[in-house]
Structure 1
């Protein structure tokens, strides 16, 4: 088997232009179930490519999508969670087949020099329609965002409540070394025994006492409206 093979790709059955996609086994896969596809056309969208590979050669466990061959091995993005724009040039895909038979079926198809139709009788979305599709997909769904935020807050509140209950249950219980951990969720409130706090309380009491002594009848004056 050649190190690099050429897969003949045609857009659909009404087209006669043959494009070459370079196929190479992934060297880091000892089980020989993974393949690198180089020079995928920019109009080859993730959903169609995955559907084509599965229907033609068999199930896959993962398909990762990369901007160049140098990015292979880096978890940059995937077809299921597309992060790279499909509009900016050709791409590289790494296909991880579920079975080794699918891997062999792919290279048998390449050796037969048959043409692989990307879209069959349909056409890919290109031009202004492609830009419209990408723009519409980039608009956030407000309702789904609210639901996601509400779900996150509910999970966070449940986590905080669980921590409070756990802290209260451990209040006053000594650990292995005999220490009792004081938590902020305990029933008793503890004041820090510091010199600055004592001085602050003393100053407040002194000012209050001086105010009362300076005007002892402050609380005994009655206002006569006449």
Structure 2
């Protein structure tokens, strides 16, 4: 350990300052827990929630220290904007749950903390804190529950209030219905814009910026392709060569002869049926 400018502060290799942590004031003879803190200076990390000049990086945070406990312990150095607890250093750990009623169970382990102060001087004050003046976790004003009292509190917090849950469910369904209605109206408006008249013209409406635009969608593109295909089939050259023209005429004459023979047979049959036969 190398002493810093302040004789009471303890700095170790890596630029970390060691702070002592005691669970309660009554445990005067209990072993102290040590925290390692330093100013957060990771410039490659693109996280606006961790300002480089106001963020304190803390290692070896015990499991019984929650965000509220860390806020109460380090508030002596200045006003705290936010506290973030992660299992390991790195980017923010995003939560997969979208509801406050169903939260993932967190593993009980030592963590790292990112404490964002409102004033940059608070970071320097925490780094200059003497080693022989331990920070107290549980006091008479802000007691921290442990043992069976902590389990009872966790069980009570896990119980969901039915009225508040029903209110949130109703709010979610109302928002869902509103989004579905807006989507249906948007699709209806898009379908109206894509209607074509008998000659294939599309009614174009003025856009938001006063520019005439034609709506583009998968249905409109498919309809346009089918229309171009039919137009191409109509424009295809037929009987371009003389031999194609002769073959077409021969087929037409053969069809006329076949139809003539069928008509002759039909007339002969009608005449035979009309012949008078008394006996």
TM category, shorter: 0.5 to 0.7
Instruction: Kindly indicate whether residue 56 of structure 2 is the aligned counterpart of residue 35 of structure 1.
Output: yes
Residues 1:19 and 2:36 are matched in the alignment: no
Please, which runs of 5 or more residues in structure 1 have no aligned partner?
184-226
For 1:161, which of 181, 188, 210 is the aligned residue? 181
Q: After TM superposition, what 4+ stretches of structure 1 lie above 6 angstroms from structure 2?
A: 178-183
Q: TM-score, normalised by structure 1?
A: 0.64
Hey, what does 2:133 align to over in structure 1?
114
Corresponding residue for residue 75 of structure 1: 93
User: Which runs of structure 2 are paired with 1:40-51 in the superposition (5 Å)?
Assistant: 40-51=61-72
CA contact (8 A) 2:35 2:58 kept: yes
Equivalent residues in 2 for 1:184-223, closer than 5 Å: none
CA distance in 2, matches of 1:64, 1:9: 19
Q: Equivalent residue for 1:214? A: none
Distance 1:169 1:7 in 2: 64
TM-score by length of 2: 0.53
CA contact 2:59–2:111 (8 Å) conserved in 1: yes
Question: 2:109 matched to 1:89?
Answer: yes
Q: Quote the residue 1:100 is aligned against.
A: 120
Q: Partners of 2:82 and 2:94 in 1: how far apart?
A: 13
User: Larger Rg: 1 or 2?
Assistant: 2
Per-residue CA deviation, residues 106-155 of structure 1 (Å, 9 max, x unaligned), is 1122x464221122335421112212222222233322221111101101
Deviation at 1:27, TM superposition (A): 2.9
Q: Distance in 2 between matches of 1:75 and 1:49?
A: 18
> By how many angstroms is 1:24 displaced?
2.7
Partner secondary structure for residue 172 of structure 1 = helix
Aligned mates of 1:5, 1:25 — CA distance in 2: 10
Q: Which has the higher contact order (CA 8 A, sep 6+)?
A: 1
1:171 and 1:181 in contact (8 A); partners too: no
